[in-house]
A and B are shown apart, each in its own frame.
Chain A
Amino acid sequence: MPGILLRRLGSFVLTLFFASLLVFASMDLLPGNAAAILLGTAAREDTIAALEQQLGLDQPAYIRYLTWIGGAFTGDLGKSASYGVSVGGLIAERLAVTMPLAIMALIIAVAIGVPMGVMAAARWRQAPDRLASGFAQIGIAVPDFWFGLLFILIFSTTLQWFSAGGFPGWSDPAAGLKALLLPALALALPQAAILTRITRSAVLDVSGEDFIRTAQAKGLTESRILWRHAVRNALVPIVTIIGLQFSFLIAGAVLVENVFNLPGIGRLAYQSLSQRDLVVIRSVAMFFAGLVILVNFLIDLSYLWLDPRLRARR
């Protein structure tokens, strides 16, 4: 058991390391460095040189890399050229919007997707299955940010139940949650569709297994067999998909935050692109990549807990 844990931890750290090298190499080493990009084509050479010195770009590459990575642990990721504040602080501030948004979306997606998938499997090829499968098929095809536009059209412009975007801050938690509800729902619907589909096929897959027949022979009720036996055993593929979908959740968050004008990390990434602020972009890109790697690592670990057979093997 500790052996597996150590190996997974090792590959987690290694993947993080290579991802950080990739970000650093593309953002810091390719021609056209941060100072030149920031100042534009009309800048004079001595202006560029001065900004290079200010950004620490005159130091050798390995020192710059180590400063950046070291900073990730102390929270000092450098100073944003366009915002004039520390990048670490900027990310932390924006995280207060993006994290609750992503968590809300994930909760909504699981709350819709898993029960619908189970219901579809239990009523295979009957009306509930057709409805759920139809919802899944369509939900997967619809862009999340378009759901966002439609929600604004319906609930803000027409019904005027919600404001069309913006974020009032967390001083009034209820108002904050309300502002995140539509974006979270837009983000969640495609994810719920995918979860419905995966849950349905995972439950169908285990429904032919011997232990289900045993449970039926024992005379257990259908709902007990479904939830205690079939769903429990279908959890591995379901959790796998949540992990694989995580990068789409991030991509969706970038878009939905822009649709709803939410001051989250996705909007920060987009804004720093228009400011050509490479110092911010590299840290935000690394943050997103690190998050995807972390989630997949945690999901890898969760298999050991979900499926005791994996603990015994290897």
Chain B
Amino acid sequence: MTAAAPDRIRYGFGPHFRLYLGAAITACVIGLALLSLVWTPAPPAKMRIALKLKAPLEAGLAGTDQFGRDIFSLLMAGAWNSLSIAVVAIVIGVVAGVALGTAAAARRGLVEEIIMRFADVIFAFPAIVSAIMIAALMGSGASTAILAIGLFNIPVFIRVSRALAQRVWANDFCLAAQAAGKGAFRITTDHVLPNIAGGVAIQATVQVGLAILVEAGLSFLGLSLAPPAPSWGRMLSDAQTFLSQAPWMAIAPGVAVAVTVLGFNLLGDGLRDKFDPRTAGRV
């Protein structure tokens, strides 16, 4: 097999191609999202019936929708909404997941068993299913999407941080700290957390991308941000009605989602390549 240990590793695009490309895409998306707070080519909410359903470049960079709103401006404002929902949801997942995951690694035994069983139960509910349940109880909106995506990410980060923390606990310096009389909590804050932060951050980058994908699905079904706030998912669901007249309405938001998620995934993979060279090019 040619795959087994080549003598000389050849990189097609340089060693950190994925990292740089991912960072560039992510920076562009975040930049456009921030820019949308102060400037967009046209006011995203402004309806201009005279300009409705114009093709790209006929009116605006990406055309207009059924109300004559500028699609590129809507995409920029949608980027901000989509990113903020995804980031807040992942922060919830990271905080709760890492707290429980490191506790499981520190305490072992019954505590670990209960935490992991809890993770299994939560993991059984796909974000879209919990979003439907939450929406049935308290209506849909940004908080519904954040809660559903955040919840689904808790078991993800429980598993990741527990696995990483277990590896740290196996080190001699943890044994030494124990011998010096440090308790499990102090060892976790002083030794475990700093050592797993990088791994958790890499996973979080990938999960933000996934959260953007899920949020697009939720807002496609109308379970996320309520109109008139621009959202990529709802732009896609509007587009379905005008598929034959205005296909660009369906193409632009999908490309926006795909490019953004691609950026976060490449960034996550690139960071892993950089900090864990053993797996470089393999995962």
A142 CB contacts on chain B under 8 angstroms: 254, 257-258, 261
Q: Among residues 134 to 180 in chain B, which have CB atoms less than 8 Å away from a CB atom of chain A? A: 135-137
A37 and B136 contact, CB distance less than 8 A: yes
Within 8 Å of chain B (Cβ to Cβ): is A312?
no
- Encode B258-283 as 1/0 by CB contact (under 8 A) with A: 11111001100000000000010111
B227 to chain A, nearest CB (A): 16
Within 8 Å of chain B (Cβ to Cβ): is A116?
no
Q: Is the interface of A mostly helix, strand, loop or mixed?
A: helix
B1 and A288 contact, CB distance less than 8 A: no
Q: A26 vs B127: C-alpha distance in the bound complex, in angstroms?
A: 15
A288 and B125 contact, CB distance less than 8 A: yes
Q: A190 vs B250: C-alpha distance in the bound complex, in angstroms?
A: 18
Within 8 Å of chain A (Cβ to Cβ): is B126?
yes
Q: A293 vs B126: C-alpha distance in the bound complex, in angstroms?
A: 11
Q: Among residues 85 to 132 in chain A, which have CB atoms less than 8 Å away from a CB atom of chain B? A: 121-126, 130
Q: With A26-B137, A251-B214 given, is the CB distance from A143 to B257 under 8 Å? A: yes
Q: A139 vs B72: C-alpha distance in the bound complex, in angstroms?
A: 24
A11 and B117 contact, CB distance less than 8 A: yes
- B134 (CB) vs chain A CBs: closest residue: A26
- B250 (CB) vs chain A CBs: closest residue: A149
B129 and A289 contact, CB distance less than 8 A: yes
Q: A146 vs B133: C-alpha distance in the bound complex, in angstroms?
A: 24
A265 to chain B, nearest CB (A): 11
Q: With A137-B266, A149-B240, A225-B1 given, is the CB distance from A125 to B6 under 8 Å? A: yes
A140 and B261 contact, CB distance less than 8 A: yes
B236 CB contacts on chain A under 8 angstroms: 145-146, 149
Q: Among residues 54 to 93 in chain A, which have CB atoms less than 8 Å away from a CB atom of chain B? A: none
B257 CB contacts on chain A under 8 angstroms: 141-143, 146
* Cβ 8 A contact of A270, one of B125, B133, B221, B240: B221
- A200 (CB) vs chain B CBs: closest residue: B282
B: number of interface residues (CB 8 Å) = 55
- A124 (CB) vs chain B CBs: closest residue: B3
B3 and A145 contact, CB distance less than 8 A: no
Within 8 Å of chain A (Cβ to Cβ): is B239?
yes
A: number of interface residues (CB 8 Å) = 70
Q: A293 vs B27: C-alpha distance in the bound complex, in angstroms?
A: 38
A281 and B133 contact, CB distance less than 8 A: yes
Within 8 Å of chain B (Cβ to Cβ): is A254?
yes
B128 to chain A, nearest CB (A): 4
Q: Among residues 118 to 134 in chain B, which have CB atoms less than 8 Å away from a CB atom of chain A? A: 118, 120-121, 123-130, 132-133
B265 and A137 contact, CB distance less than 8 A: yes
- Encode B190-216 as 1/0 by CB contact (under 8 A) with A: 000000000000000000010001101
B132 and A273 contact, CB distance less than 8 A: yes
B118 CB contacts on chain A under 8 angstroms: 18
Residues of A at the B interface (CB closer than 8 Å) are 11, 14-15, 18-19, 22-23, 26-27, 30, 32, 37, 121-126, 130, 137-138, 140-143, 145-146, 149-150, 152-153, 157, 164, 197, 201, 203-205, 207-208, 212-213, 216, 222, 225-226, 230, 247-248, 250-252, 254-255, 258-259, 269-270, 273, 276, 278, 281-282, 285, 288-290, 292-293, 296
